[in-house]
A and B are shown apart, each in its own frame.
Chain A
Amino acid sequence: MAIFAMSLDLLIGYTGLVSLGHAAFFGLAGYLLAFAAPEFQPANLWTSLFLTMMFCAIFASVIGFITLRTSGIYFIMVTLAISQMLYFFIHDSKVAGGSDGVYIYMRPDATFFGWKPFDLENISDFYYFTLTLLVLTYCFLRALVRSVFGRVLSGIRLNESRMNSLGYPTFRYKVICFVFSGTLAGVAGYLSAAQFGVVNPDMLGWHMSGNVLVMVILGGMGTLLGPAMGAFILLLLELIFQTLPSIGGVNLSKHWHLFMGGAIVLVALFLPAGVAGLIRGKSQTRQPIDD
């Protein structure tokens, strides 16, 4: 989930593109793994992960090419519409198990030319594998946002027309950013599907997109560790509120959504820079200055 949140932050926090369809890549990757795996047999980790990433990259470039012609609220609507199209396609057609989803019976097999460095069926191996990918994603994104390319993305967020007149083909930059972001969301979806052993249409619906958006906001936009923390915090809060004891005959855990919503409202009101903003402290936060 943290990888997923960081991938969206590249889009929102650095380039200023708010997408409500990011779960499309997440869910799509899950389904790709499900299709790649023969029934009752594991898929090869390396080939299926590679294929999933490639497919998500191609899908993202096509979607990006269409949606990035719009901006602002229209971009939100178009990304939402496209992910909902995918959602209903999977939900209402028989190709992928309809609303029940598809089960993945075995976790991917890490055998690499006959050499098996670790076994994902082993829970701690799977944990370390995911952690490695998380760290790799973090390092990759960190290098990316600090590069010349990353500076251009920030410039586009702040003032796209000025970037154009400075000689940057901003559309091309946005599409490439969208592809990076979609591909990483695909990695996250792949891991999630492998972990839970099931994919269903909810993975690509707008609910999921909204969830990851909340993670990014909760953690702090425009920071990389923020959204990663946001993912942990959101899942943790969910867990805490779901296990609340019943007090005076009222089962509080049944109404966990209420507490969850309240917590998010509080963060939005009092921590506009997210949890990362809290840690960084007020001295370093650069307040946007009005002209």
Chain B
Amino acid sequence: MIEPILIARKLVHSFGGLTAVNNVSIDCRVGEIHALIGPNGAGKTTLINLLSGDLQVNAGNILFEGNEITGLKSYQISQRGIARSYQKSNIFLMFTAFENCRLAAQSRLPHSMHFFLNPDTCSAVNEVAHAALATAGLSGRIDTIAGALSHGERRQLEVAMTLATVPKLLLLDEPLAGMGADESTRMVELLRKLSANHSILVVEHDVDAIFAMADVLTVMVNGMVLASGSPDSIRSDPKVQSAYFGVSGV
């Protein structure tokens, strides 16, 4: 089996008295879609926030490509090659789709302060941005103001922006939320395609989509990992059936 690119061990995070993430360990591998499921309030998004550096862990440690990244700021983690998308579309509504991606892509310029460099002239950055849009299926909407995109397109743009930072690991928080059936199918295909050379950790509620794309499933309940394993083993796990799918099973 391939070595995991991300190893998180015994992560803990509390909001006041509520322990949202309690002793959670998780591995992610390149070529693998790891799906994180669980009822609302199980701590899935908090876990994503811990891995992306948006929140700091109270205990536990995170290794990425063998290096300790625990306690790094979100921009440092992004620079290491972990990109995240948000549950609620978090894009620059006043910019065009292309500008959104270019902004993401230019964060990879070797040094960050370019006071007088006109972004139109950085062909490398523009190429990355175009490629990311094309991969996410937004080639036709390049010059559309992001605020004028449909909900599904905004979700695609959200993924395109993460791709434009050329990440190795994608943390996707409900990329299918609110999407129609067609759009969902396309997004699942996109993620399958991306998983060939990326590691993907995806939070999702759509059970059909999860079983269609995931290689590994982790079920969280009340901040703890209830079960983790292949889709088949999860489906037949009695604990998961009672906690998540209802007592009757699927």
Chain A residues near B (Cβ < 8 Å): 143-144, 146-149, 151-152, 154-155, 158-159, 161-170, 172-173, 176, 286, 288-289, 291
Contacts and interface: CB of A to CB of B under 8 A. Distances in A.
B165 A286 contact: no
B240 interface: no
Contacts of A166: 75, 78, 103-104, 107, 161, 165
7 interchain residue pairs of minimum CB distance: A289-B147, A167-B78, A148-B114, A167-B107, A164-B74, A167-B79, A149-B115
Given A147-B115, A148-B119, A155 B92 contact: yes
A165 B89 contact: no
Give the interface centre of A154, A158, A165 by most chain B CB atoms within 10 Å: A165
A166 B108 CA distance: 9
Contacts of A152: 103, 106, 112
A144 B15 CA distance: 41
A136 B122 CA distance: 25
A167 B103 contact: no
Interface of B: 52-54, 73-76, 78-79, 83-84, 86, 88-95, 99, 102-104, 106-109, 112-119, 122, 145, 147-148, 161, 165
A100 B25 CA distance: 68
Contacts of B74: 161, 164-165
Contacts of B115: 143-144, 147, 149
Given A151-B103, A162-B92, A167-B75, A289 B114 contact: no
A133 B74 CA distance: 40
B54 A165 contact: yes
B92 A147 contact: no
A157 to B, nearest CB: 10
Contacts of A161: 54, 74, 90
A161 B99 CA distance: 17
A147 B94 contact: no
Contacts of A149: 113-117
28 contacts: A143-B115, A148-B117, A148-B118, A151-B99, A151-B102, A151-B103, A151-B106, A151-B119, A155-B92, A158-B92, A159-B91, A162-B86, A162-B91, A165-B53, A165-B75, A165-B83, A165-B84, A166-B103, A167-B165, A168-B107, A169-B76, A172-B112, A173-B112, A173-B113, A176-B113, A288-B94, A289-B94, A289-B147
A176 B84 CA distance: 27
A165 B52 contact: yes
| Interface SS of A by simple majority | helix
Contacts of A291: 88-89, 93, 147
Contact of B78 (A154, A159, A165, A173): A165
A183 to B, nearest CB: 13
Contacts of B148: 289
Given A149-B116, A151-B99, A152-B106, 18 more contacts: A143-B115, A147-B118, A148-B114, A148-B119, A151-B102, A151-B119, A158-B93, A159-B92, A161-B74, A164-B78, A165-B78, A165-B84, A167-B108, A168-B75, A169-B73, A286-B94, A288-B147, A291-B93
Contacts of B117: 147-149
Given A165-B54, A165-B75, A166-B161, A144 B92 contact: no
A121 to B, nearest CB: 35
Contacts of A151: 99, 102-103, 106, 119
A143 B117 CA distance: 8
A150 to B, nearest CB: 8
A164 B73 contact: yes
Contacts of B102: 151
